[in-house]
Chains A and B, each alone.
Chain A
């Protein structure tokens, strides 16, 4: 059977079709041999009986020829359709899998990398699956079959022909000894070129501002030079053996050997002309049939990297689901962390023994310097990852005992980067509540302070949003996602820096919108700016992964701890002005 780590394993879902393609390909090759054999028979009959037309043989040859290319094309088509279907299957499988692995892992990979896997890497399989499989089958089967026929015709010529083949392949094998090492070095150099190119293009605005000569071009140039050196070394190293085996495996050497030896044997009368012609018709292509193997191995090697990346994603562990979905029912909209510790993959500790309780219907703010763990808390509630130790409870139920859908039914999230997809504005608001009527959508938009600007869009609620639609400002996009959260109407609301990227005028509307959304919900919000949190029922102050303080604003200020310090330095920051001179700060 195929080993799981072999590149061939990637085709498992379409194995049957690929196998069929390979069988067609081999049968096509056999039919070709048959056609050549029948032409040889026709010539033989003509030699023995020059007046008689060998129609039977010629008709047979016609049938075999048609069969041969029909099968060849059928094989080609079958493997192509299989490859196309494999693309669909793999992409769906990947998309599905991404829906089940921890969201945190998706952020680790990055959207760019994952898109590349789903699009480019899956696409890169095509050459391997569609083009190489029929050729592989033939490259293995044809020389064997040809050799068998040659031996049957005349063993001496068969031995001569196989010698040519062995000679070509021997040199080739010798040349391939360092192949894996060269491929590795080549791939390394290539990756560095890609990185340098991306850096070169992306960093161009920065590079330009420092570009007072040629110095910044150097990084790009160095990567290219290193790559050129590797490639040149490879080509030069492989130059002799590759050209030698290409020359030997071509049709001319085999043909010449069969001709010289055949002529000699014919004149010595130990070989009759008909047999000789038959070996010439059939045998000359023997070595050539193996040629695709050289290029194919190279193609498969290139695909290996893509396959490895696809596997890496598919091998990510999915979040465990409860044995008996949907799991126990939640009692209320409370959120509790009980001795939660959590570390990231790279070993850094993000949260250390964090315990707190959020009562239903209250507002809790998470504050602290960046990297203190507040965003991690917000994301653990939505199960971006599972906790390392301790537990997170919603309404008294450990979230790991809830079905993902049930958990999502409890939480609405508003992130700092508002996500809109390419559908209409109305459909964007409807995401997650597809059954909502337009009136309900409009009602939600009104609550989110979005109705007014939506009605001013060219097609109102039917205007296309997202990258391929109208340009909306950050604040407007954010208000659409808030309308979405209003419509989803979930008891717990998690806000992660929801107001970070908006300009002041939008911020006012946005904060209005969020304030409405927060009504009657349990709210947990991450905030960088302290001014936005002073009215929260509870403020949790994080420092280096630990919960340092927890109380409301007044109590924390009075206490004079971390929060009070942050507040004072925040005051200074708020009143800072470029150049230092400021007449009067707000507030």
Chain B
């Protein structure tokens, strides 16, 4: 009997709610069963509360009409028992929150999402926008669900309790009971009608917020230029315009959603009062006991506001739905496919075979039909203008993404046939920008090989020319990076990352513009460190400055995703082609032109 009213209530309310319910249970993972029990418990508690309230009718009959203390007390006891039962059931159901199951469920979900981020192709993760979205999702996943029980309870109490109480009134007085029940079908279509309006408004607001965020980012980042141009504050016209536009949109959207609120409130509150008025008429014509009417009036006084306002809580459900959408989207991302059978690379030879690759959001290939062989222990350099495909080659080797065409092989094995962990172990990378963790200096280096001893870490750091500056730090090797992060120079950070790579001692080394942004002094130290790193390794260097790679075994000159020249430095100079032109420009631009030269070229 308790489950029945609940079921009809959920059926009356939109079908999507049932879908949301199922998805919510799925998101709760192992705790799904408990969450289901808890939600059923809450609706059962609401129903029991309705039954308790329904006891008012016989109670009032006993007190007002019959003046029968015995029956009155019997009904009072029954009502007290039902109330206690309702409280006890709700108490138990809320245990999902209070005994920490909810936190555990969101914790597990967060770990699941984290695990997913770890497996999904880096190309997708590195897209800035989706990166931000995923970070927010991962950060707020518990906030999204923490109100589930509270809101469910509010909605159940607003809907199920009056419904059950009204059904019970039918037994005593079918006319009043029917009148009460007539209110419910009136609310549902209104809710359905309000929902799309609401969803549309939300989307428009989301877009607007995104635009405003972009404007704010632009303003804050551009402040030096904006101020130099005397266009800050009140004079930042675009920004002011965007703020005003947001307020206008917020106001319009609020008004649009406020109108249905007025209508729903009118129907519920006036409707319930009409029921009372009709009851008064029925009493006057002798069709209804005054005791029944009094009981209905007291019940109605409890129902009116929750029924009139429960619609506003449904916003929270929409919030939960939005979070579920994004979770599904993230969980749907597939990791890069493995090709079976698994193969072990034999040696450190790298081979690109007719590789063509295009980024997801690009309309032209970043790399076209690229083939190259990097023999073991050789040094290969990639040069060319920005956007020519140099970094793409490194990314494909690291398997941030798979090429649409062709294959990348290490030691004979296609990278798709190599286990990801194994592949990770094969390569060390030194990027232009170094990511350091908020941990000690020692641990930052050690992450390259967690089982390395302190002595091994220190030896790697020594080879990377780090010892000197590390020992000057306030707490030496135990200094937390977070405490000094900003004070380490680019060169020092770079040397730490080289120390990591040295410790890892992988057979393949990728250097991505490692000395591009350093000052002359740091540059020297970093160079020494790199010299230590590349010894006896298969090395791939990406460089803007050609002199850096003049000693390479082979230089590949790239332009628009194709190799246009290749060979040793001397051969390329002699060929008098693109490389030669670049070399000449670089030799020249080392000096500023004197004023008169500048005038002469004008």
Chain A residues with CB under 8 A of B301: 36, 39, 281, 284-285
Q: Is there a chain A Cβ closer than 8 Å to B222's Cβ? A: yes
Contacts of B125 in A (CB 8 A): 201, 204
Is A415 interfacial (CB-CB < 8 Å)? Answer: yes
Closest to A531 in B: B590
Q: Which of B2-10, B182-190, B470-478, B540-548 contacts A (4 or more CB under 8 A)?
A: B540-548
For residue A259, which residues in chain B have a CB less than 8 angstroms away from its CB?
A: 56, 59, 76, 79
Q: Would you call B424 an interface residue if the criterion is a C-beta within 8 Å of the partner chain's C-beta atoms?
A: yes
A535 touches B114 (CB 8 A): no
Q: Which residues of A contact B212 (CB under 8 A)?
A: 119
Q: Does A297 belong to the interface (CB within 8 Å)?
A: no
Q: Does A178 contact B (CB under 8 A)?
A: no
A212's partner among B142, B421, B588 (CB-CB below 8 A) is B421
A392 vs B56: C-alpha distance when bound (angstroms): 85
Least CB distance from B213 to A in Å reads 5
B83-122 CB mask vs A (1 if < 8 Å, else 0) is 1001100110011011110111001001100110110001
Judge whether A206 and B254 touch: CB under 8 Å. Answer: no
Q: In the bound complex, do residue B227 and residue A103 qualify as a contact, i.e. CB atoms below 8 Å apart?
A: yes
- The 8 Å CB contact of B138, one of A97, A200, A277, A413, is A200
Give chain A's interface secondary structure class: helix
Taking a contact as CB atoms under 8 Å apart, the answer to whether B98 and A236 are in contact is: yes
User: Nearest Cβ distance between residue A102 and chain B, in whole angstroms?
Assistant: 11
Interface flags for A546-587 (1: CB within 8 Å of B; 0: not) read 000000000000000000001001101111111111111111
B203 in contact (CB, < 8 A):
no
Interface presence of A1 (CB below 8 A): no
Contact A219 B437 (CB under 8 A): yes
For the complex, give the distance between the alpha carbons of A68 and B262 in Å.
12
A61, B398: Cα distance in complex, Å: 75
B219 contact set on A, CB distance < 8 A: 95, 98
Known A39-B301, A209-B427, A504-B585; contact A53-B386, beta-carbon cutoff 8 A: no
List B contacts of A408 (CB < 8 A). 227-230
Q: Does B587 touch A at the CB level, under 8 Å?
A: yes
Please name all residues of chain A whose beta carbon is closer than 8 Å to the beta carbon of B97 when the two chains form the complex: 235
Contacts of B91 in A (CB 8 A): 243, 247
A111 to B225, CA, bound (A): 14
From A199, A369, A578, A582, contact of B530 by CB (8 A): A578
Determine which residue in A210, A413, A421, A572 has the highest number of CB atoms from chain B within 10 A of its CB, and name it. Answer: A210
Q: Decide if A53 touches B424 in the complex (CB within 8 Å).
A: no
Taking the complex as formed, is A457 at the interface, i.e. its CB lies under 8 A from any CB of chain B? no
Looking at chain A, what size class is its interface with the partner chain?
Answer: 35 or more
B374 at the interface (CB under 8 A from A): no
Residue in B273, B294, B504, B545 whose beta carbon sits within 8 Å of that of A43 in the complex = B294
Q: Taking the complex as formed, is B33 at the interface, i.e. its CB lies under 8 A from any CB of chain A?
A: no
Q: By the criterion CB–CB under 8 Å, are A115 and B99 in contact?
A: no
Tell yes or no: A136 within 8 A of B by CB: no
The answer for the CA separation of A572 and B524 in the assembled complex, in Å, is 8
Interface-lining segment among B12-20, B340-348, B349-357, B594-602 = B594-602
| Chain A, Cβ-Cβ closest to B379 | A579
B69 beta carbon closer than 8 Å to chain A: yes
Give the distance in Å from the alpha carbon of A203 to the alpha carbon of B56 in the complex: 64
Q: Is the CB of A437 closer than 8 A to any CB of chain B?
A: no
Chain A hits for B569, CB < 8 A: 582-583
**Given A238-B98, A263-B73: A252 touches B83 (CB 8 Å cut-off):** yes
User: Given known contacts A194-B139, A200-B114, A212-B421, is B273 in contact with A65 (CB within 8 Å)?
Assistant: yes
The chain A residue sitting closest to B103, CB to CB, is A231
CA distance A199 to B444 in the complex (A): 13
CA distance A115 to B95 in the complex (A): 39
- Within 8 Å by CB of B107, from A47, A62, A213, A228, lies A228
Q: How far is the CB of B474 from chain A (nearest CB, A)?
A: 13
Stretch from B163-171, B194-202, B264-272, B409-417 forming part of the interface with A: B264-272
- The answer to the question of A511 belonging to the interface, with a C-beta cut-off of 8 Å to chain B, is yes
Q: Are A578 and B534 in contact (CB under 8 A)?
A: yes
What distance in Å separates the Cβ of A168 from its nearest Cβ neighbour in chain B?
12
Chain B residues 534 to 561 lying within 8 A of chain A, measured CB to CB, are 534, 539, 541, 543-552
Contact of B588 among A106, A219, A284, A508 (CB under 8 A): A508
A99-B232, A259-B59 known; A421-B223 Cβ under 8 A: no
Query: In angstroms, how far is the closest chain A Cβ from the Cβ of B63?
Result: 6
Number of contacting residues on B, CB 8 A?
179
B273 in complex: contacting residue of A61, A238, A534, CB < 8 Å:
A61
Task: Decide: A236 and B593 in contact? CB cutoff 8 A.
Answer: no
The answer to whether A573 touches B524 (Cβ under 8 A) is: yes
Q: Which of B437, B491, B530, B550 is close to A370, meaning CB atoms less than 8 Å apart?
A: B491
Q: Which residue of B lies closest to A466 (CB)?
A: B218
Contact B217 A111 (CB under 8 A): yes
**Contact present for B519 and A370 (CB under 8 Å):** yes
**B222 cross-chain contacts in A, Cβ below 8 A:** 419, 421
Is the pair B79, A103 in contact by a Cβ cutoff of 8 Å? no
A101 to chain B, nearest CB (A): 10
A267–B8 CA distance with the chains assembled, in angstroms:
40
Shortest Cβ distance from residue A509 to the other chain B in the assembled complex, whole angstroms: 9
B334 within 8 Å of A (CB atoms): no
B550 and A66: CB pair below 8 A?
no
Determine which of B134, B491, B595 lies in contact with A519 in the assembled complex, contact meaning CB atoms within 8 Å.
B595
Q: Which of A50, A217, A423, A574 is close to B114, meaning CB atoms less than 8 Å apart?
A: A217
Contacts of A246 in B (CB 8 A): 94
In angstroms, Cα B554 to Cα A581, docked, is: 12
CA–CA, A271 to B431, complex, Å?
85
Tell yes or no: A503 within 8 A of B by CB: yes
Q: Is the CB of B94 within 8 A of A243?
A: yes
Within 8 A of B (CB), among A76-92: 76-77, 80-81, 84-85, 87-88, 91-92
Determine whether the beta carbon of B520 is less than 8 Å from that of A573: yes
Residue pair A197, B139 in contact (C-beta under 8 Å): yes
Which of B23-31, B237-245, B321-329, B365-373 lies on the face that meets chain A? Answer: B237-245
Q: How far is the CB of A353 from chain B (nearest CB, A)?
A: 22
Q: Mark B507-526, 1 if CB is under 8 A from A, else 0.
A: 00001000111111111100
Residue contact A219 to B228, C-beta cutoff 8 Å? no
Given contacts A77-B254, A578-B552, contact A586 B218 (CB under 8 A): no
Q: Which residue of A lies closest to B212 (CB)?
A: A119
Is B1's beta carbon under 8 Å from chain A?
Answer: no
- Cβ contact within 8 Å between A585 and B550: yes
Chain A residue at minimal CB-CB distance from B261: A73
Interface with B: A18-26, A303-311, A467-475, which one? A467-475
Chain A residue contacts of B438, Cβ below 8 A? 195, 199
| A111 contacts across to B, CB distance below 8 A | 217, 220-221
Which A residues are CB-close (under 8 A) to B115? 217
Q: Counting CB contacts under 8 A, is B209 at the interface? A: yes
- Residues from chain B with Cβ under 8 Å of A532 in the complex: 590-592
Complex CA gap A423/B599 in Å reads 32
In the complex, B181 has a CB within 8 A of chain A? no
Tell me, yes or no, whether B392 is within 8 Å of chain A by CB.
no
Per-position 1/0 for A381-418, Cβ under 8 A of B: 01010000000000000000000110011011101000
A432 near B: Cβ within 8 Å?
Answer: yes
Closest A residue, CB atoms, query B98? A239
Type the 1/0 row for A366-386, where 1 means its CB is closer than 8 Å to any CB of B: 000111000000000010100
Whether A220 sits at the interface, judged by CB under 8 Å, is yes
Bound: A429/B279 CA distance, A: 77
A17 at interface, CB cutoff 8 A: no
Which of B35-43, B172-180, B280-288, B459-467 participates in binding chain A?
Answer: B280-288
Question: A12 at the A/B interface (Cβ < 8 Å)?
Answer: no
Interchain CB contact under 8 A, B228 and A411: yes
One of A200, A256, A578 near B511 (C-beta < 8 A): A578
Known: A51-B284, A76-B258, A531-B590. 19 other contacts (CB 8 A): A43-B290, A91-B216, A96-B234, A98-B233, A118-B216, A119-B216, A205-B400, A250-B87, A266-B63, A267-B72, A273-B63, A281-B297, A432-B231, A515-B593, A536-B592, A569-B520, A572-B524, A576-B548, A577-B549
Which 9 residue pairs are nearest across A and B when measured between Cβ atoms? A432-B229, A99-B232, A239-B98, A232-B100, A99-B233, A96-B233, A586-B587, A581-B551, A577-B551
